[in-house]
Structure 1
Amino acid sequence: MRRLLTLGFLATVSLASALFAKTPPETPRFAHEHSDLKADPAARFGKLPNGLHYVVLANHEPKERASLRLVVLAGSFHETDDQQGLAHFLEHMAFNGSIHYPPGTIVEYFQRMGMSFGGDTNAYTSFDHTAYMLELPDTKTETLAEGIKVFSDYASGLLLLEPELNKERGIILSEKRARDSVEFRQLVAELKFVIGDTLLPKRMPIGIESVIEKAARDRFVDFYDTWYRPSRMAIVAVGDFDPAAIGKQITDNFSSFTARGPARPSPEIGNTYAFNGVRTLYHHEPEAGATTVAIQTASPIPPEADTAATRIARLPRDLAVAILNRRLDILVKEEGAPFTRGQAAVNDAFDLFRNALIELTCKPAQWSDALAVADQELRRALEHGFQPAELAEARANFLNGLEQAALTASTRRSDQLASELISALTQDEVFTTPADDLALLKPALEKITVEQCAAALRAAFSAPGRFVSVMGNAKIEPAATAASSTSPDAQILAAYESSRAKPVTAPTTIADAAFAYTDFGPAGKVTSRQHVDDLDVDLVTFANDVRLNLKKTAFEAGKIRVSVRIGAGRLTEPKTQPGLAYFTDKVFTAGGLGKHSVDDLERILAGKTVGLDFRIAGDAFQFTTLTNRDDLLLQLQLLAAYLTDAGWRPESIRVAHKNFEQLYTRLAHIPDGPLQLEVPRLLASGDPRFGLPSKEQLLARTLDEARAWATPQLTTGPIEIAIVGDLDPDATLAAVAQTFGALPARQPKPAYEAERQAAFPEPFAKDFTVTSEIPKGYVALYWPTTDSRDIRTVRRLSVLSEVFSDRLRVKIREELGDAYSPQTSSGPSDTYRNYGLMTALIAVDPAKAKIVTDATLEIATDLATNGVNEDELERAKKPILTSLREAGRNNQYWLFSVLGSAQEQPQRLDWRRSIDTDFAAITKTEIDALAKQYLPAARAFRVTSLPVKP
């Protein structure tokens, strides 16, 4: 419902979900104690005498694992002026020395337990709280006790040693640099514009450089002792354990915890206030990929408890916003539409603000036209309301979401539930069950009228004042006349008032339609069905040579995952038409079907759990979807319709061209732009199938070219389907027989040996530059490896990559402080013979690029010369073994890693059989041999991409 801005996604969230303004809560509280809503009875809520709250919830997915969270109701709002950034800095210091974990030991300790740094051990800082997260590798008593002890140290045992503080400063500055972006800068400008009288834009969690660089230890101690007190803390424990036992561990470890310093009242965050008229903002970011125009309000609202009545009262507004967003989705596809995407949103934030907005993205020259569309579509909804057909669609989708949540609740993951409990604690919401949500909201949904929706939208936008903004790469020059000069803000106001002067008419009536693709001919005959006993998998072949791989599981209640692979994909892209695969990827499904546009399909399929995720992979056209038993046949009918009657409608290319323009404009100004545009092709000796095409090449591609290339593969190419999940095998087989089994015969897949050839050039060193004010660069190093056919080598390369990555963490992050998150990855190709890469990718201070490059090469050289040590090998293997235990109970793993192409590549079944024992058996001798073979410095490709100021 209401989201928190955290440091991890500040750069991508809109103001609609970013508004805060009130005094932050002094202590956690359980909202169900003050509401008529009933909390999930499986959750055990408790409070210790010292004020610490806790919630314990037994949950069985994933098996034998637990998600622990420590929540501190203190974030950047609680900082003084000379502490800006210390809430987040303190979060880092939890990993840099405490009573039971000396500096430099806790990450390695977690790794030896089977936990990965960043994946299983992490934290985040928000404006009003900080959360520490542990994903324990098992639920043994001693493991749970260790997790609770770690939290006890975080809460009251941090050492905050001066040398460790000084060492971490560079890492924090590296993180600040890594998160700096055009989007972040626009967000800050928007916050200042709309809620500049509040503390929010003055307390971005990352902080300010002067404090990060120079804050003395006493400022850290002051923040820690003041705000890290039991009355401001809560522990969340969700997992496959005995809740009484974990509750006792929490009590035993935290009952004696007392505050170390005097309490301090929470700061006043500020207020918004109503005003009349229009306020404008012009914020120019020349490096942005596009321009964003917005019309919004921010008005004060009284505090509101989370009750049955308030949840029901929000429904008409939520439906109204959904309808308005659908209108924007339809409008963007029309010829001449002056925008590329749009959204409307209404959010009540922290019981004090209501933010309502409509926001469109456009080309810079079209800002005034896009602003007019935003104004007129908003007024069209406010003045003329909605149609019953629109409400029926929105209601069906909303209700389906509630029903699916209830259907799938029994196998929700523990980490998901832990996040929901944090949200409930920090946002004063009741942690209800999906079944109770459905029982409460379904009857109310069925009674809502279009008049109620229109009234709710009018109430949401009822504030008398409007904030109108134009942000991004639009260059609005002052318009000079003989008598005066008109500023950009004046031009924005004039464009808005000009649009406001134009009357709007009611939308056209929507016609009903029925799905037209239910008959593909006589159901196909099964010619072969083999049950693989040890893997509990069915391998099926139909008379038309369509292949089907089935696995029934209980890992995700009510969910069925589907993969369909057709033809040979990017492998066969014509060399004379560079970019055709990427172009086709972006326009194919957007073209709809011969009898239904995409907008028709959304309306026809409303309320159904069907999807359409399409991509052109290296060696196949691939659909992946998520559905359920009731909608599986409809899902397969939709997929088969795209193979037999794709629409190739012109609106698909209209939208695609606008997005292409924005993509390439953005890539020209971000340091990893060349790493996407040019480097992949250079590493493949200029093969046009690698990386992105040039902008000119992409814009030259046509629907006729895409149709001519794709249609033969879609109509006659080989098909392999994998279906995994909570399915009925016989009903699933029958549904496939009625759809894909009924299609014309498929041709076998050729070997494509010539097309599978790819070659590395001689190693090179290349320096790229991008025009940017943002002081962030990239260092990328690549070592050629091999393809994925030898699975033993692939697995050992992945372990070598983990060791390499950990050494980068120690040297470049911890010792030098020159990068926030240096990473390596091993990427053996599934498509091209003898082709693969070991990649090190590091965001850097441009001035430190050479230092980081040299340090990375030095680490690789040492691995190649001296190999790994036994301790780091075990620390690399154990988190992998932990993840493998979970992978066997993961439908997506079975779908993509095992069954997606199990008949084309039957060795994948053996790979599944051997994966656990083979990883466990990996030795130092094997890793040393691969490092010696692949990581010598002479084999490395060296790339830097650095900014130059305009």
Structure 2
Amino acid sequence: MQKSPRLSHLFLAVALFLGAALTPFAAPPTTKALPAPAVAQSDLPPDPAVHYGQLDNGFRYAIRANAEPKGRVSLRLFVHAGSFEEHDNQRGLAHFLEHMAFNGSTHYPPGTLVEFFQRLGMSFGGDTNASTSFDRTIYQIELPNTHAATITEGLRVFSDFAGGLLLRPDQIEKERGIILAEKRARDDVGYREFTAELDFLLGGTRIPARLPIGLPNVIEHADRPLFEAFYNTWYRPELMALVVVGDIDPAAVETAVRAAFGSLTARAPAEPKPSLGTVPAPQKVNAFYHADAEAPATTVSINTVSSYAYEADTAANRLKYLPRQLAVAMLNRRLAILAKQEHAPFSSASIGIDESFDFVREASLSLICRPDQWSPALAAGEQALRGALEHGFTAAELAEATANYRTALEQAADAAPTRHSDALAEEIGAAILDRNVFTTPATERDLFVPTLARVTPADCLAALRQAWAAPGRSLIVGGNAKIPGDAAAAIATAYRHAQSVAVAAPAEESVGQFAYTDFGPAGAVASRREVADLGITLVQFKNGVRLNLKRTPFEAHVIRLNARVGVGQLTEPRDQRGLAALAGGTFIAGGLGRHSVDDLHRLLAGKNVGVSFAAAPDHLNFGGATTPEDLLLELQLLTAHLVDPGYRPEALRQAREGITQLYASIAHTPEGPLATDVPHWLANDDPRFGLPPQDQMMQRNLAEVKAWLAPQLQHGAIELAIVGDLDVDASIADVARTLGALPPREPKPALPAAHEVHFPTGSHERDYTISSEIPKGLVALFWPTTDANDVSRTRRLNVLADILGDRLRVTVREKLGGTYSPDVGSMASDAFPGYGMINASSVVDPAQASELRAAMIAQAADLQAHGATDDELKRAKLPLLTSLRESVRSNRYWLAAVLSRAQEKPEVLDWARSRQTDVESISKTDIDALARQYLAPENVYRVTVIPAQKPQP
């Protein structure tokens, strides 16, 4: 079902969000057990590859064999209980209990499970994780191999989660600080705005009263009996489902599942699912104002709702919502076009319609604007929505929307054989909990494609009107707008004024034809070489363009491209700070000389093409993904951006709106200095590093962008990489007709002076204060290392960083409870000789910033003085080796790490050959030597960011 963009964005903040004011509707009765399979109520054919089963105790499972990633297995344990099931004195315990699953169970004593996973070759957070939302808790494990013993071990972990948690009081005490640290890390302007809006829109229901993070008082003081009561009541076999997807024998796995979960029993009497309450019923315009001076922009929204109850997942019900999905797509395109117009009162907007919790249907139109533009933005949104509701859509709009929808369906079906197990496991489990039928992409294609040809503009208009048929409207203005006096009355008055303005029907627009299909005679191949052991073809055209290709079976019907052009930021003018950032934000948005971005949307509807752009340190980077049928068109589009970029003023207008919002956010968030001053400082004030002050950034313009980029685009060296489901010879011919047909390219110049970057001398410490009411600070540490030119050393630096990160997990997170997720990594530059660093950062309580910074430095100093342990090295290497084995079957790896520069830097071919054996050979001696060389306390650059203290009254 179509998800609201506004809803989906806020979902990330709390696992799930429901936004809108609603008509009266009581929650339907809910059952004690996990919903029965939806197949019996549906005419949709389920995916025949999924085997479903149910144990005598009510525990359900689904098993599916799947080839990608090869040699791996995805496990998911779904518990149909979340924060909705909490009593008032348990608010936050569903999420807290998810944490406690990793803190001691029948077979895994406290403090051993993460290390156990690591010794199996699994990373904490990547291969083992969990999440809690309003109505479900999900545990995930990505097993590193398909050995029977490994699968049995993974199932034993989940069996312990389901019925064997120890919930030791000392472990509960230890985890309190981590939960509070997570709450602190999640706390931001967007989350606070969300909670205020949710209370306005759905006040009186259970939804705003059960945010999954919970209440501080409960987190700080809940005792073991409260945890035990929730666990025993809701972690019961009939409310659980296990999903196993991977490179497996389903019959053998089913036997193991029955052995692992057959003895699971309920440990407490069942409780009925709580009612969600009665949804509010506005019959008129209601307005709400939530002011927050720290918000980067103002958000204006128009919302309406209707009641919703569960509908069986049938072919008819899926098709019923197709016109509505198309209407949403068409209206979103209109809003995107309006946002680009000169003097547009908003910078972006979106509409979405969504059903959630079998409880509510919500329709919402949201706009982002400057604080002084909230009233014009509200008017523009109201009139755009009313224009669609009164006059509907044009045939051309519908043709574009249906073409894109049809292509997405066909591409999903074509790519289905190489879907990854983790995504399949998530989808299968969600279908079980939501009482939907898990169907194949081919089934969805065969269902929807014939209907798409019959949908009319009138159908879409009727569907949109139905979604917005409820009589009430809930209006919200939130963020940094300042509305004096009675703000709610002012918002309502502005809305009524907007309603008095007549709206016109949309005009039909001609589509035209793509203008960039002929770049002259096809270029000739100067050389071609096969790298047989890696399956790579290296080509050079007579005009100097280099082409690197690899055919793979890893993504069916998908081809990925990357082009490195020119020298990138090496020649960024030193007196024009921020130019590369502005180029990145305007180049693609500026379209082409003969087509705007909106023209391209219409012209290329139904095609799998698109180009991205970014200015990298030593090249301009173009990326894209396509299909075998559209490869030539993708290459034509890429080439067109080189020969005739648009540099349109609407791109600059929108970029400057984004810049204003970005700097407003930077001023109030602890991560802000890490984007601005800190990179500039660490590069000895090199102007190419870090964003400049806002006034300098706003001085940059398209004339400067064009003057800087044009020579690189017109003459710079080009190295193109193509990987995926391709025909090598046909792809070479397509490149010959596009990039190969361009005038000769210049060799890449050395520019030795431009490659020089150094760390600063003098003070190693900088403290920053930000203006914020949110009690959240940040500590960031940087140990200078070196560049990436010695790949063996780079790999060992990565392992050293992983060991340091694991130490910080144990000390700063687990022992001190001072941070939720310490972030540690190694950055070794391949553009600037001698430049690199190991960095570590943590979001912290400002009052603890000094203490935690000292603890982080002390861990690095201990590693420098005493080295790593053999067990630490093993637990760092094994997950890395797992990821290396998996990445060999990843197009993204081959594209980014090998093919993208296989001719400019041919040693990457040997790097690809050696990485597995080289990582296996990493020794404690290697790591200890690097730790001694780089992690000395006197070397570290220290950054602390805290909110400014309020003056005392």
- The equivalent residue for 1:886 is 886
Assess if the C-alpha contact under 8 Å between 1:79 and 1:87 holds in 2.
Answer: yes
Q: Are 2:522 and 2:738, in contact at CA under 8 Å, matched by a contact in 1?
A: yes
2:726 alignment partner in structure 1: 727
Determine the C-alpha separation between the residues in 1 that align with 2:195 and 2:833.
Answer: 48
Equivalent residue letter for 2:714: T
* Moved segments of 4+, more than 4 Å: 2-8, 11-25
Letter in 2 for 1:622: N
Q: Which amino acid aligns with 1:27?
A: A
C-alpha deviation, 1:45, in angstroms: 0.6
Structure 1 23/136 Cα, relative in aligned 2: closer, same or farther at 3 Å?
A: farther
The structure 2 residue matched to 1:166, chosen from 166, 173, 177, is 173
Residues 31, 272 of structure 2: 8 Å contact kept: no
Q: Aligned pair 1:287/2:286, yes or no?
A: no
Contact map agreement 2:297 2:480 (CA 8 A) in 1 = yes
2:8 corresponds to 1:9: no
1: distance between equivalents of 2:594 and 2:8?
Answer: 43
Using the TM superposition, give the Cα deviation of residue 879 of structure 1 relative to its aligned residue in structure 2, in angstroms: 0.0
* Other-structure match for 1:748: 747
Instruction: Pick closer, same or farther for the CA change 1:24–1:633 going to 2, 3 Å.
Output: farther
The residue number in structure 1 matching 2:824 is: 824
Q: How does 1:856-867 map to 2 (within 5 A)?
A: 856-867=856-867
Alpha-carbon contact 2:32-2:271 (below 8 Å) kept = no
In the alignment, structure 1 residue 278 sits paired with structure 2 residue 281: no
Amino acid at match of 1:836: G
Correspondence for 1:929: 929
1:603 equivalent in structure 2: 602
* Matched residue, 1:481: none
RMSD: 1.5
Q: What's the counterpart of residue 808 of structure 1?
A: 808
Q: Retained in 2: the 8 A contact 1:567–1:621?
A: yes
Check whether the contact 2:327–2:460 (CA below 8 A) recurs between aligned residues.
Answer: yes
| Equivalence for 2:910 | 910
CA distance, structure 2, for counterparts of residue 238 and residue 899 of structure 1: 31
Provide the residue aligned with 1:523 in structure 2.
522
Which residue is 1:454 aligned to?
Answer: 461
TM-score w.r.t. length of structure 1: 0.98
2-side partners of 1:768 and 1:389: how far apart? 53
Displacement of 1:38 in angstroms is: 1.2
CA contact (8 A) 2:15 2:131 kept: no
Identity of counterpart residues, as a percentage?
A: 54
Alignment partners' CA distance in 2, 1:840 and 1:938: 16
Q: Look up the equivalent residue of 1:838 and give its one-letter code.
A: I
| Contact persistence 1:561–1:891 (CA under 8 A) | yes
After superposition, the C-alpha distances for 1:51-85 in whole angstroms (9 at most, x for unaligned) are 00100000000001000011111100000000000
Give the drift of 1:507. Answer: 1.8
Which residue of 320, 334, 339 corresponds with 2:346?
339
The code of the aligned residue for 1:508 comes to A
Q: Within the alignment, does 1:663 sit opposite 2:662 as a pair? A: yes
Aligned residue runs from structure 1 range 640-789, under 5 A: 640-762=639-761, 763-789=763-789
Aligned to 1:218: 225
1:510 pairs with 2:509 = yes
Task: Using the TM superposition, give the Cα deviation of residue 511 of structure 1 relative to its aligned residue in structure 2, in angstroms.
Answer: 1.7
- 2:647 partner letter: W
What secondary structure, in the 3-state scheme, does the structure 2 residue paired with 1:10 have? helix
CA 13–716 in structure 1, closer or farther in 2 if over 3 Å, else same: farther
Q: How far apart are 1:22 and its partner, in Å?
A: 5.1
Shift of 1:12: 9.3
Q: Do 1:22 and 1:271's aligned partners in 2 also have CA atoms closer than 8 Å?
A: no
Q: Distance in 2 between matches of 1:425 and 1:284?
A: 41
Q: In structure 1, how many angstroms separate the alpha carbons of the residues matched to 2:512 and 2:611? A: 20
1:636 is matched with which residue?
635
Q: Structure 1: any 5+ residue segments left out of the alignment?
A: 479-486
State the one-letter code of the partner of 2:12.
Answer: F
1:27, CA displacement in angstroms?
2.6
Asked whether the equivalents of residues 766 and 943 of structure 1 are also in contact (C-alpha less than 8 Å), the reply is: yes
Write the mapping of 1:414-433 to structure 2, written as runs, cut at 5 A: 414-433=421-440
1:17-67 deviations in Å (ceiling 9; x for gaps)? 999965565333321122111110000011111100100000000001000
Change (3 A) 1:726 1:25: farther
1:870 matched to 2:870: yes
CA distance in 1, matches of 2:29, 2:811: 42
The within-5 A match list for 1:170-569 is 170-478=177-485, 487-569=486-568
Question: Is the CA contact 1:7–1:206 (under 8 Å) kept in the aligned structure 2?
Answer: no
One-letter identity of the residue aligned with 1:228:
Y
Cα distance in structure 2, aligned partners of 1:221 and 1:11? 24
Amino acid at match of 2:498: S
Over 3 Å counting, the alpha-carbon distance change for 1:18 and 1:614 in structure 2 is farther
Give the SS at the match of 1:410. helix
Q: Any idea what SS the aligned residue of 2:754 has?
A: coil
Look up the SS of the partner of 1:27 in the other structure.
coil
Provide the rounded CA distance (Å) in 2 between the counterparts of 1:285 and 1:624.
Answer: 38
Q: Deviations over 1:220-253 (max 9, x none)?
A: 0000000010010000000000011111111111
| Structure 1 pair 99–8 and aligned structure 2 pair: CA distance change class (3 A) | farther
Residues 6 and 369 (structure 1), Cα distance of their counterparts in 2 relative to 1, 3 Å cut:
closer
Q: In structure 2, what is the Cα distance between the partners aligned to 1:18 and 1:684?
A: 51
Maintained 8 Å contact 1:769/1:945: yes
CA deviation string 1:255-313 (max 9, x = no partner): 11110111111100123254321000000111110000000112212431111001001
Change (3 A) 1:354 1:510: same
Check conservation: 1:21, 1:350, Cα contact below 8 A. Answer: no
Worse overlay, 505-514 or 52-61: 505-514
Quick one: structure 1 residues 765 and 476, their matched pair in 2 at CA, closer, same or farther if it must change by over 3 Å? same
Counterparts of 1:734 and 1:852, CA distance in 2: 59
Q: Paired residue for 2:84?
A: 77
Change in 2 beyond 3 A, CA 1:847/1:578: same
Distance 1:637 1:40 in 2: 38
**Are 2:825 and 2:839, in contact at CA under 8 Å, matched by a contact in 1?**
yes
**8 Å CA contact retained: 1:770, 1:948:** yes
Q: Distance in 2 between matches of 1:495 and 1:297?
A: 17
Supply the distance in 1 between the matched residues of 2:785 and 2:651 (Cα, whole angstroms): 39
The answer (yes or no) to whether the contact 1:828–1:836 under 8 Å persists in 2 is yes
3-state SS of 2:555 partner: coil
Query: How far has the Cα of 1:691 moved from its partner?
Result: 1.2
Question: For the residues of structure 2 that align with 1:583 and 1:630, how far apart are their CA atoms?
Answer: 34
Kept in 2, the 8 Å contact 1:5–1:18? The answer is: no
- AA in 1 matched with 2:434: Q
Find the counterpart in structure 1 of residue 33 from structure 2.
27
Partners of 1:27 and 1:231 within 8 A in 2: yes
- Equivalent positions of 1:42-61 (< 5 A) are 42-61=49-68
Corresponding residue of 1:484:
none
Query: Is the contact between residue 877 and residue 919 of structure 1 (CA under 8 Å) also seen in structure 2?
Result: yes
Q: What is the CA distance between 1:758 and its match in structure 2? A: 0.3
CA offset at residue 162 of structure 1? 0.4
Q: Are the aligned partners of 2:560 and 2:723 in contact in 1 as well (CA < 8 Å)?
A: yes
Q: Take 1:167 and 1:722, find their aligned partners in 2: how far apart are those partners?
A: 50
Q: 1:862 to 1:8 in 2, by over 3 A?
A: farther
Contact 1:863–1:935 under 8 Å retained in 2: yes
- Which residue identity does 2:103 align to in structure 1? N
Q: Cα distance, 1:421 vs. partner?
A: 1.0
Aligned-partner residue type, residue 778 of structure 1: L
Deviations 1:540-577 (A, max 9, x none): 00000000000000000000000011001111101011
2:136 and 2:504 mapped to 1: Cα distance? 47
Match of 1:482 in 2: none
Q: Which residue identity is paired with 1:318?
A: Q
Contact kept in structure 2, 1:765 and 1:941, CA below 8 Å = yes
TM (norm. structure 2) is 0.97
Whole-angstrom distance in 2 between the partners of 1:841 and 1:656 = 29
